[in-house]
Amino acid sequence: MSIRNAYSTKPLPDAVAELQAALSGTDTRLVLLFASPAYDPAALSRQMKDAFPSACVVGCSTAGEIAGGKMLTGSVTAMALDSEIVSGAAAVVVPNLSAGIDLSRAFEQLEHYFQTARSDWAMDKYLGLVFADGLSGAEERLIEKLGDSTDVFFIGGSAGDDLHFQATYVYAEGKSYRNSAVLVLLRIEHGFEILKTQSFLPMGKSLLATAVDEEQRTVIEFDHKPALVAYAEALGIPPEDAPAQFFDHPLGLMAHGEPFVRSPQRSDGRSIVFYCHIKEGMQLEVLEATDIVADTRRAVEKHKNGRREIRGLIDFQCILRTLQLRQEQRCEQYGEIFAGIPMVGFSTYGEAYLGHLNQTSTMLLFH
């Protein structure tokens, strides 16, 4: 098979041995690795590279794992893709995210590997994956730099650590890193699609960010009023009740009728701290929650019907969506959506696709 997926809950090195037995193939080009923070990141990355020495081995720590339609915790999940799907794969590390982001060296390395100038990377053949330290606070700047550097789409997620918020790791070619990002460039042979899905609709009420602390991801004022007051007025509730609504009523930057979700994290006095940044002058819609399982099933079925076969799928799912599914006891229903599709994924501290997002699943579908 050209795409294989597996998971293990065994300790190291037995987990790697189990994955190696399940994933080994004759021409593996890429191995994606998503693991609970219970696994030592340096040992896991090194052992997986030793197990697949000729493949590009990349991934990150998680806030929950997904494999074969199962939502897991405390596991290590992996996907192997051979040359029938991915004819080329190269990974580069962007270090010291907090000190500033310069991608020039990274793109020089990728151009050297593919022996092709980035201006010649065809968007229907080349695709990027991005895994970032989920505690770096640098994802917006990283993704903006990627957009300035290439027209190739990058999709991915921020590493997690099971909501401990202490240390998250990215893996590349046998090593693990903090305060860093891993960029992976793929040359894909038979086509791919990117699917972004979120379970929210606009309520018809908007807020204009008029004072922000972008570096701290904090909105001080909406519509020249204290942010918490303006948000509460939009929902018709007292300000003291507003934080209880953050989960079900995030904000959305609308583009072509689609919300790009910005989720409130907490109130800070009468300001609101978000999980991703909001720029001054940004017009946002107040959103209301819909049904995650139904919405995701509808989105995946749309890509199944009348289109080419989905040969594999990677799901970068926001931890907030995972928490909701756990609370509603619907993790099994969510997993059933992907029955029969080789798939892996993980619960992220933020999703990457045309920006840094929240409460979203960004999915990569291989044909």
Percentage above 70 pLDDT, the chain: 99
Lowest mean pLDDT segment, chosen from 34-48, 200-214, 298-312, 346-360? 298-312
- 178 lies in the same domain as 140: yes
Q: Which of 289, 315, 336 is the last residue of a domain?
A: 289
**pLDDT-based confidence at residue 302 (cuts at 50, 70, 90):** confident
**pLDDT-based confidence at residue 69 (cuts at 50, 70, 90):** confident
Nearest to 128 by CA among 266, 324, 316: 316
Provide the pLDDT for residue 306.
59
Provide the pLDDT for residue 307.
64
Q: List all residues 6 or more positions away from 188 whose beta carbon is below 8 Å from its beta carbon.
A: 85, 86, 87, 125, 126, 127, 366
Say if strands 225-226 and 200-213 run parallel, antiparallel, or are unpaired.
unpaired
- 119 lies in the same domain as 176: yes
- 249 lies in the same domain as 317: no
Chain segment 249-259, per-residue pLDDT in tens: 999 999 888 89
- 216 lies in the same domain as 334: no
Q: Which of 289, 306, 330 is the last residue of a domain?
A: 289
Q: Which of 238, 258, 289 is the last residue of a domain?
A: 289
Provide the pLDDT for residue 127.
97
- 255 lies in the same domain as 319: no
Centre a 10 Å sphere on the Cβ of residue 100 and count the other Cβ atoms it contains: 9
Chain segment 340-353, per-residue pLDDT in tens: 899 999 999 999 99
Lowest mean pLDDT segment, chosen from 29-43, 78-92, 114-128, 299-313? 299-313
1 pLDDT more than 60:
no
- Helices 319-327 & 292-304 angle (0-180, nearest 10): 120
- 228 lies in the same domain as 350: no
- Rounded to the nearest 5°, which phi and psi values hold at 267? -90, 150
- 171 lies in the same domain as 72: yes
50 pLDDT more than 60:
yes
- 261 lies in the same domain as 184: no
Provide the pLDDT for residue 128.
97
246 pLDDT more than 90:
yes
Centre a 10 Å sphere on the Cβ of residue 7 and count the other Cβ atoms it contains: 22
- Rounded to the nearest 5°, which phi and psi values hold at 282? -80, 130
161 pLDDT more than 90:
yes
Contact between 358 and 320 under an 8 Å Cβ cutoff? The reply is: yes
- 163 lies in the same domain as 216: no
Chain segment 165-209, per-residue pLDDT in tens: 999 999 999 999 999 999 999 999 888 999 999 999 999 999 999
- 205 lies in the same domain as 192: no
**pLDDT-based confidence at residue 103 (cuts at 50, 70, 90):** very high
Total tally of structural domains belonging to the chain: 2
- Helices 14-23 & 41-51 angle (0-180, nearest 10): 30
Q: List all residues 6 or more positions away from 274 whose beta carbon is below 8 Å from its beta carbon.
A: 217, 218, 219, 251, 262, 263, 264, 265, 358
- 51 lies in the same domain as 168: yes
- 240 lies in the same domain as 303: no
The domain in which residue 273 lies consists of 200-289
